[in-house]
Amino acid sequence: MLLGLVITLYSSLALAKEVYRSPSHIALSNDGKQLFVSETTANTVAQLRSVSGKLVRRYTTPSEPTGLALSPDDKKLYITTGVSNGQVLVFDTQSGKKIASYKTGHSPTAPVVSADGKTLYLCNRFNHKVAIIDTESGKTRASISVKREPLAAALTLDGAHLLVVNHLPAGAANAGYVAASISIIDTKTSKVSNEFKLPNGSNGLQDICISADGKYAYVSHVLARYQLPTTQLERGWVNTNAVSVFDLNKMTFYNTFLLDDIDLGAPNPWGIATSENGKILAVTHAGSHEVSLIDRVALHKKLSPDNEETPNDLSFLVGIRKRVKLPGLGPRHCVIAGQQLYIAQFFSNDLAVADLSNTDDPVVSTLPLGPVQQMDITRRGRFLFNDGSFCFQQWQSCTSCHPSERIDALNWDILNDGIGNPKNTKSLLLAHKTPPTTVTGCRANAETSVRAGIRFFMAVLPESDAVAIDEFLKSMKAVPSPHLVNNQLSVSALRGKAVFKKARCNKCHAGDYYTDLNLYDVGTGTGREIDTKFDVPTLIEIWRSSPYLHDGRSQSIREVMTIHNPNDDHGYTKNLSGDDIDDLTEYVLSL
């Protein structure tokens, strides 16, 4: 009897503690009648009737689903999942049965299927590669290197080119121009044929769509004003939010326009979609829980490739855009089916559905994916970290400068240690366990930095909200390095582990987190910062946080050990052989 009571109580608790579903990606069937929604933190994908919202079935994945695509006949659903054990799962959409799975390499996402259904393209985000896979055999035909963290992709209508969105800038951060880019892959040659450069400061690229006529591509992103000291938030002084446009007939960058208003930001643009009739361009604002409905015809009448001031014009969309407040929180990807716009709302366990038949006053409803749940403290911290609605004039959220809680690859002139000495953004992984949290140690710990960040870059929040953000950041887990082989150090990395001790790197990069938590002069200070002591950062996940050194001058770990360590102030590397440097680099990048 007691056992039965325990089982009943456990079952009741299990029902009460329904998982957060966190919808993120949406795939739409060709007839517009079926929706497939990735439920990120539930490790499931929901199949729904688009009109009624009725749940047809759920597909289970071994880890978070990271992307969705349908075959041209809608009979197969491709789901990317996994990190170091990345794979594509293939399901029959009629029976719901898994019919195949392919190994795809590290961190697969953004699957795209060719028009004939024979080829699957996907991004291996942390390998900085795009894989081309034969859908019949599951074999990878090619693996193509792109700039950095490919996160989204789209095929041109003729299938000749794959446009790949690189999430973050690559290269040194102390250059005059620092921005992420779009890689163009020629599908016949399986090679990168071109690159679209975005305006200086472009980062946090999220999504891409192509107009129904195939003439233009649109990409959502943050446009940082990183070359200005962070003395104010007004008028987008720190971060603005943008869409970049590309001419696909000429295969050139066209222009960039801002989603912000003069006194109201549109933080963290994410999902982007165009209507079938070409009249509407929809862009979700993940940080302010809105969607912009832009008159696309009027947009192109106003947008000129020759106007260099357009990316600075905070009034550009006046009269041709409707900002719509959504009923949920954290909008992500979106799709348009006829007159219906569907938006995944990450923090609300549902989809927003906007009727586009009247864009002046659209009716917005919801399709629930599960019961409404109260956020626990960690979930609330995650929400607050991504929420820009409480920021002064909504210009940004924490994630604007720390996408995925890591880095934006930019240098910022933060006023915590004076003005005129920009520093590279630090990853927040393990920040609470590896104080101090600023390069020069002026913030003693992560708790202090969180509260200072809220106060100086957002607005005033109650202490309980700062505590929630602390708890979220503490919950973060390191991503296994793509340099590992079967989750183990490679032969080269094992040799490098010995070199790590030989070069006395372990003197400062010591302990479980590879830092002794002290400050040292490593000879990289310049100008007024000569002889400045800098914090010893953790080396865990260092492979993900380039560029390196306090001012981001070093593009690679190898450069840290060679070009920027001429006097052996930063480990004894000057007399190491080239092979030793190679092995040491491999070891550090494997941590």
- Same-domain pairing of 498 and 469: no
Of 312, 342, 373, the domain-final residue? 373
- Same-domain pairing of 419 and 360: no
Whether 550 maps to a domain, the answer reads yes
Q: Which range is least confidently modeled, 153-167, 430-444, 489-503?
A: 430-444
Length of the chain: 591
Whether 61 maps to a domain, the answer reads no
- Same-domain pairing of 450 and 369: no
Of 446, 475, 504, the domain-final residue? 475
Residues 6+ apart with CB under 8 A from 353: 340, 341, 342, 343, 364, 365, 366, 367
Residue 284's CATH number? 2.130.10.10
pLDDT by residue (tens digit) across 519-563?
A: 999 999 887 788 899 999 999 999 999 999 999 999 999 999 999
- Same-domain pairing of 352 and 227: yes
Q: How far apart are CA 130 and CA 118, in angstroms?
A: 16
pLDDT by residue (tens digit) across 20-71?
A: 999 999 999 999 999 999 999 999 999 999 988 999 999 999 999 999 999 9
Residues 6+ apart with CB under 8 A from 131: 104, 105, 108, 121, 122, 123, 124, 140, 142, 143, 144
Q: Span 472-497, mean pLDDT?
A: 97
Q: Span 145-165, mean pLDDT?
A: 98
- Mean per-residue pLDDT of the chain: 94
- Same-domain pairing of 184 and 286: yes
- Same-domain pairing of 96 and 238: yes
* Two tokens, residue 334: 């979106």
Q: Phi and psi of 208, rounded to 5°?
A: -140, 145
Residue 517's CATH number? 1.10.760.10
Q: How far apart are CA 103 and CA 426, in angstroms?
A: 33
Q: Span 109-115, mean pLDDT?
A: 98
Q: How far apart are CA 36 and CA 258, in angstroms?
A: 31
Q: Which range is least confidently modeled, 158-162, 192-196, 248-252, 436-440?
A: 436-440
- Same-domain pairing of 364 and 382: no
Q: How far apart are CA 142 and CA 145, in angstroms?
A: 10
pLDDT for the residue 357: 93
Question: What is the number of structural domains in the chain?
Answer: 3
Whether 29 maps to a domain, the answer reads no
Residue 13 has pLDDT above 60, yes or no: no
Whether 410 maps to a domain, the answer reads yes
Whether 53 maps to a domain, the answer reads no
* Two tokens, residue 20: 């957060």
pLDDT by residue (tens digit) across 334-364?
A: 999 999 999 999 999 999 999 999 989 999 9
- Same-domain pairing of 233 and 109: yes
- Same-domain pairing of 266 and 401: no
Of 373, 406, 434, the domain-final residue? 373
- Same-domain pairing of 339 and 226: yes
| Residue range of the domain that includes 337 | 66-373
Number of neighbouring beta carbons within 10 Å of residue 309: 7
Where residue 16 falls among pLDDT bands split at 50, 70, 90? very low
Whether 556 maps to a domain, the answer reads yes
Whether 205 maps to a domain, the answer reads yes
Residue 5 has pLDDT above 90, yes or no: no
- Same-domain pairing of 157 and 214: yes
The separation between the first and the last C-alpha atoms of the chain, rounded to the nearest angstrom, is 51
- Give the pairing of strands 423-424 and 202-210: unpaired
- Give the pairing of strands 290-295 and 321-325: antiparallel
- Same-domain pairing of 327 and 383: no
Whether 56 maps to a domain, the answer reads no
pLDDT for the residue 10: 31
pLDDT by residue (tens digit) across 212-250?
A: 999 999 999 999 999 999 999 999 999 999 999 999 999
Q: Express as a percent the part of the chain with pLDDT over 70.
A: 97
Residue 407 has pLDDT above 50, yes or no: yes
Where residue 17 falls among pLDDT bands split at 50, 70, 90? low
Residue 418 has pLDDT above 90, yes or no: no
- Looking at per-residue confidence, does 413 or 12 come out higher? 413
